[in-house]
Structure 1
């Protein structure tokens, strides 16, 4: 009886996964670099707090963007490591750059949305592009994003980047954690818009019409969120905005983390998206990931090692979990172009799937108390 219950649960999860992945058949191709865009203006806002070690490539990448980009506002939260000096040095080369210091963090706000709101209040462009300090914008990024947003009639658009991974731990864990998003929300660039409660976004590179964003309350709607990008995107979609999420691997790179532990700790605690989801959605995703990502490999190994003895339920489980593993291996090839620096440990990342599913469970059970150098009660 227990085995047949598991057959029913995993069979349902397999069907749901097929439905989500099937949207990839009509997904839009990766965004291509573009030198010229529509006649408009773009303001970039970069929130920073002690980012001197990572900020340089981001500033250099923005410096290479064309005249569509009219101002780059670096909103610094009193860094102590020379972050502002880097921006001031770039401003002497390119007058579009300027550094401003935000006001002290108000009660009820998380640092990142507060800095973005502070920059939004000072931005003058028709479009506002929020960029994280750890990104490496490639030539043609800004023009390509704005052109795509105009062509596809998006009010807001964010991109999935190409991840720079170097250490063995990053290569092994990062793809497994990334696939927890693919399993839940399908591939980026799907032609059909998802319902507002399943909209996805990436705040590392988030473009929006300034007037629309201001009219919707700006980043205030996500002021207490540790996944402010998804919280904001779903709020905008719920209130009638068209929000896109596309493959930006050809125009945007990012070095998010530098080790296994940093990847586990920093990224893992926001991937549950609790601030943008209802408790029911969170726990449904936890159960789904357990059935579809965490369980298949261990269960398949156990079934092969112990044998099925011809029992129909166990044979059915063997087939179901074999299909899960086949899909997982195919997805490993599918996400390969989204990684720079992949090595042998990248190809071993399916072995990290149970850990990835466990990390989402742990994150769902916990509320972050420390985030990007700040302590929160």
Structure 2
């Protein structure tokens, strides 16, 4: 090995160890500080809570998820049928939801934001809870959501549902939603006043109605593919408080049923997750290959590379434990760590295309405007 090769390996190893150490510290911080939904007593509240479900071709999911929503005790459950080609409206009506017929998609809008905006216009609640059709609400979940919203004095509570019923193919990419949030975004940073340091999950977002309207609601993010995080940033920039929480035993999701579904889902959001930068997306994709996959392929020797391999495998397992996933398959999921960057490559390739396809619609990828989120939001004492 030449002197230059030795130097390169040392720098490579130091970079990998520093990267994994930073992520490990972030995981420890979030294990201690990230809010979890918790059981709370059945108590009366003066708040009227509207559960709002945007749905397009979701008949099969609704048969499994809507019954749980209907028993939460909400003031109203509204479902918007977004021009479905299946039995979405009929299934929802049979299960007791109030069904709204969605209007044609206007120019400049993306489907989900348009559906949510129509729902908000019809909702009568003081608290607006947007939730996807594939999310499972277990008994007492709405009480836990409302209690967390009030206890943290939040204007927006966004929840990470716990993945459920994962197939082998879905395990390859789907749990990365939790891994990205918990290993890259320390909760104290998310609670800083900087709007850009904000994330949200559109699967469950509970707003105080007044804060939702003051931020511009989904009309403000009508053309953004990553509308959930963009909306949270707008709310924070206008002085609102955004709180994130883990769903634990209360809220679960079967987001993607297979590996191809995961690729399509991650591909449509990948650019937004990487701060609207395709350059950053490519660099991080290559770096993940270098850290998690290449050390196994090259069989690099020494204690340092052993640490890199072990930590790279344990990382996903630790994430699953924090989110409450402790079954044998969940604990063994870390073994997929070295393979994940390889299986993520098709999603990266899809993200680099000028258009993406979702729910039977074609969207041209438009970069979101991040400049307004670089300034510090101002929180009033009442909001704090």
| TM-score greater than 0.5 by the shorter chain | yes
SS in 2 for 1:351: coil
Query: TM-score of the superposition, structure 1-length normalised?
Result: 0.83
- Whole-Å separation in 2 of the counterparts to 1:329 and 1:49: 32
**Aligned residue for 1:220?**
219
Alignment-derived partner of residue 50 in structure 2: 43
* Corresponding residue for residue 382 of structure 2: none
Query: Quick check: 337-346 or 325-334, which moved more?
Result: 337-346
Task: Give ranges in structure 1 of 5+ residues lacking alignment.
Answer: 92-96, 308-314
1:90-101 equivalent positions in 2, closer than 5 A: 90-91=95-96, 97-101=97-101
TM-score normalized with structure 2 length = 0.82
Q: After TM superposition, what 4+ stretches of structure 1 lie above 6 angstroms from structure 2?
A: none
Structure 2 Cα separation of the partners of residues 18 and 166 of structure 1: 25
Moved more, 16-25 or 124-133: 16-25
**Residue 356 of structure 1, CA deviation:** 5.4
**After the TM superposition, which residues 237-256 of structure 1 pair with which residues of structure 2 at under 5 Å, given as runs?**
237-256=236-255
Measured in 1, the distance between the counterparts of 2:326 and 2:125 equals 32
* Aligned equivalent of 1:84: 89
- For structure 2, the 5+ residue unaligned runs are 1-6, 365-384
Measured at CA, do residues 277 and 339 of structure 1 come closer, stay the same or move farther in structure 2, by a change above 3 Å?
A: farther
For 1:95-110, list aligned pairs within 5 A.
Answer: 97-110=97-110
Contact 1:55 1:134 in 2 (8 A): yes
Residue number in structure 2 paired with 1:156: 156
User: Residue 196 of structure 1 aligns with which residue?
Assistant: 195
User: What SS does structure 1 have at the residue aligned with 2:200?
Assistant: coil
Q: Specify which of 70, 86, 91 is matched with residue 75 of structure 2.
A: 70
User: What's the Cα RMSD here?
Assistant: 2.9
Change (3 A) 1:332 1:359: farther
Over 3 Å counting, the alpha-carbon distance change for 1:154 and 1:306 in structure 2 is closer
The answer to whether the 8 A contact 1:45-1:116 is kept is: yes
What CA distance in whole angstroms lies between the structure 1 residues aligned with 2:332 and 2:319?
12
Partner of 1:2: 8
Matched, 1:287 2:283: yes
SS in 2 for 1:202: coil
Range 127-136 or range 3-12, more displaced: 3-12
Q: Which residue does the alignment assign to 2:275? A: 277
Number of residue pairs matched? Answer: 356
Q: CA offset at residue 41 of structure 1?
A: 0.8
Distance 1:62 1:210, change over 3 A: same
- Partners of 1:250 and 1:64 lie apart in 2 by 16
* Higher RCO structure, 1 or 2 (CA under 8 Å, sep 6+): 1
Q: Is the 8 A contact 1:158 1:201 kept in 2?
A: yes
Aligned match of 1:94: none
Structure 2: distance between partners of 1:20 and 1:267 = 23
Separation of aligned partners in 2, 1:340 and 1:252: 17
For residues 314-343 of structure 1, what are the alpha-carbon distances to aligned partners after superposition, in whole Å with 9 as ceiling and x for unaligned? Answer: x58526624642652652552573488947
Q: Deviations over 1:59-107 (max 9, x none)?
A: 21111112xx11111111222322111222233xxxxx31111221110
Partner of 2:185: 185
- Aligned positions of 1:1-377 closer than 5 A: 1-28=7-34, 30-34=36-40, 35-36=42-43, 38-66=45-73, 69-91=74-96, 97-176=97-176, 178-186=178-186, 193-194=191-192, 195-274=194-273, 277-279=275-277, 283-284=279-280, 287-288=283-284, 290-291=286-287, 293-302=288-297, 305=299, 307=301, 315=302, 318=305, 321-322=308-309, 324-325=311-312, 327-328=314-315, 330-331=317-318, 333-334=320-321, 337-338=324-325, 342=329, 346-355=333-342, 358=345, 361-362=348-349, 364-377=351-364
